[in-house]
Structure 1
């Protein structure tokens, strides 16, 4: 039983006034709804859980960030430690030694045999035998081509017979002329008779001379019915076959002598004052790699090629073994000047500062500054001669390495010297 005095109407809240009205009407009061509070509580609990989860993730992220920063710092320290020692490869250093410095002129050209014979037919006859093919080696005097001798013998016999007949007529004409001259002197024959006899005699004399020339030509043709090799060599071309008719001048075979070759090259006409026969030439031939063949300047053209200002230069090259062939591409360097026993370095090894020219020399695993006195450049400016400051055995940094300074520690990799 509720002993509390009821509140006055003005002191009641809306909800209390609604409850009082329901009681007065005999109805049960409405039950109070509690689900909004439950939702609110659940939302608060979920938010608290999310905050706890997020708080744990942030801690993990912070820990990972700190680990990455520590690793980066360790790597930086390792790089700094490695940078303190500069590693030098084999091609970046050179051990000083006396060498022969040269000034050269580069040339290019093709190989060609010095002796080449294009043999042609000197008779008009049928080819009976061709004894060689392209690529065959022959010796001087070997048979190359043989013509049909029967036809040549017939021509020779005919010309001889014609000449002999004319010779008989000439003897008769000479006898007649002498007899006519005697009669004319005695006044028994007119003068014109002697003139006709003299004309006949002169005509037959000329005819005999021409026929004797034909006999000589026929004899020469008979002798040249066989073509032989004029020198030792190799057949490079064959232009006829047995059974073919060859007129005078028809190409037969080409014979080349590979024992001596020649490179026909060109050089700027500005080098004419220093180019002389006899200069040595180092030649590389396509197909033989870095192998060097030794040649020499044989002769120079007296006139430059019109419009190019280039001077033809002929370089002779011995080929005793016969391994070189005509037509091969060759490049060479004519040695214009030499200096033996000198010290030379690539121009990239020379450094300059306020104190002058110097190089970096490796001493006790340290790059040390060494003052030097440079001379003239060689090999078209690729090498510089060192007059003083270096000794044989010194190890010099020859590549331009701006980051390498005197006092830096260095490590020579295997094969660096």
Structure 2
């Protein structure tokens, strides 16, 4: 009996090995940057391997027509010639109406002349309102032209690493064509499939040490952000995701790692 007990103990995996789980370091997101409009690529200021910040220019399409349209719209919006002309006409019509009204009160001018002067005054007031309205429309056209021009320049939606550039300057970019690929490196996600024995012992917010597999070396603290509430029937495992802060991009994505989910002191 003692021999069988000893063999059983030797055959059982150590508690440390049971709790040591393999994992993979993955980027927080992987983005394929596409062209939202057609056009010839004028500029690509980034290359594969470059780090980019959110808002950095990734590429710019030819935009000569959009730039001219914006210049035209701004010229229209900034001009107040028509408004000032209508204001001058209104002042003139107002004086004419007052003069005809005075003559009509003295029975010197016919009532028809007063009616005509009143109509001219009203029409001039409407013309001034139309000029002011047209200027407001011109201001809206400026914003529209700015938006169309901005669409010719694509900026990074995230901070991360450029892992592929699929286009070159001078190439025609069709709508929805892939231009480049970017991975978000801060934070880094740690994907784990833990054995069912650990189910219920790991919770969101728990902190664990993540160790890189050889030949890489490094240790990082990860916070549990997702714990699947179901087990995979085939493998008897459940999914866990941890988040590792990586502001200086020192944590390598794509690397394999290990996590000890054993009891913590």
> How does the TM-score come out when normalised to structure 1?
0.41
Q: Which runs of 5+ in 2 are unaligned?
A: 1-5, 102-113
Paired residue for 1:12?
Answer: none
Paired residue for 1:379?
Answer: none
Where 1:316 maps in the other structure, the secondary structure is: strand
Deviation at 1:212, TM superposition (A): 2.0
User: Does the alignment pair 1:175 with 2:88?
Assistant: yes
* CA–CA separation in structure 1 for the residues paired with 2:87 and 2:200: 69
* CA–CA separation in structure 2 for the residues paired with 1:171 and 1:234: 55
* CA–CA separation in structure 2 for the residues paired with 1:168 and 1:255: 50
Deviation at 1:255, TM superposition (A): 2.5
RMSD: 5.2
Paired residue for 1:156?
Answer: 70
User: Does the alignment pair 1:147 with 2:61?
Assistant: yes
Deviation at 1:209, TM superposition (A): 1.9
User: Does the alignment pair 1:260 with 2:187?
Assistant: yes
Q: Deviations over 1:49-87 (max 9, x none)?
A: xxxxxxxxxxxxxxxxxxxxxxxxxxxxxxxxxxxxxxx
**1:280, 1:334 within 8 Å by CA — same for their partners in 2?**
no
Which stretch has the larger CA shift, 111-120 or 255-264?
Answer: 111-120
Paired residue for 1:136?
Answer: 49
**1:280, 1:294 within 8 Å by CA — same for their partners in 2?**
no
Q: Deviations over 1:97-153 (max 9, x none)?
A: xxx989969696x643236665565776531133445x4223548763233353343
Give runs of aligned pairs for residues 105-254 of structure 1, distance below 5 A.
Answer: 111-114=25-28, 119=33, 125-133=39-47, 135-140=48-53, 144-164=58-78, 167-184=80-97, 187=101, 188=114, 189=116, 191-219=118-146, 227=154, 233-245=160-172, 252-254=179-181
Where 1:323 maps in the other structure, the secondary structure is: coil
Deviation at 1:241, TM superposition (A): 3.6
**2:93, 2:117 within 8 Å by CA — same for their partners in 1?**
no
* CA–CA separation in structure 1 for the residues paired with 2:178 and 2:95: 58
Give runs of aligned pairs for residues 334-373 of structure 1, distance below 5 A.
Answer: 334=261, 337-338=263-264, 340=265
**1:284, 1:290 within 8 Å by CA — same for their partners in 2?**
no
Give runs of aligned pairs for residues 320-339 of structure 1, distance below 5 A.
Answer: 320-325=249-254, 332=259, 334=261, 337-338=263-264
Select the structure with the greater relative contact order (CA < 8 A; seq sep ≥ 6): 2
Paired residue for 1:296?
Answer: 222
Aligned pairs, number: 234
**1:170, 1:204 within 8 Å by CA — same for their partners in 2?**
yes
Give runs of aligned pairs for residues 21-170 of structure 1, distance below 5 A.
Answer: 92=10, 111-114=25-28, 119=33, 125-133=39-47, 135-140=48-53, 144-164=58-78, 167-170=80-83
> How does the TM-score come out when normalised to structure 2?
0.57
Where 2:163 maps in the other structure, the secondary structure is: strand
* CA–CA separation in structure 2 for the residues paired with 1:250 and 1:173: 50
* CA–CA separation in structure 2 for the residues paired with 1:92 and 1:304: 33
Paired residue for 2:204?
Answer: 276
**1:300, 1:311 within 8 Å by CA — same for their partners in 2?**
no
CA separation of 1:117/1:195 partners in 2, compared to 1, >3 Å: closer, same or farther? farther
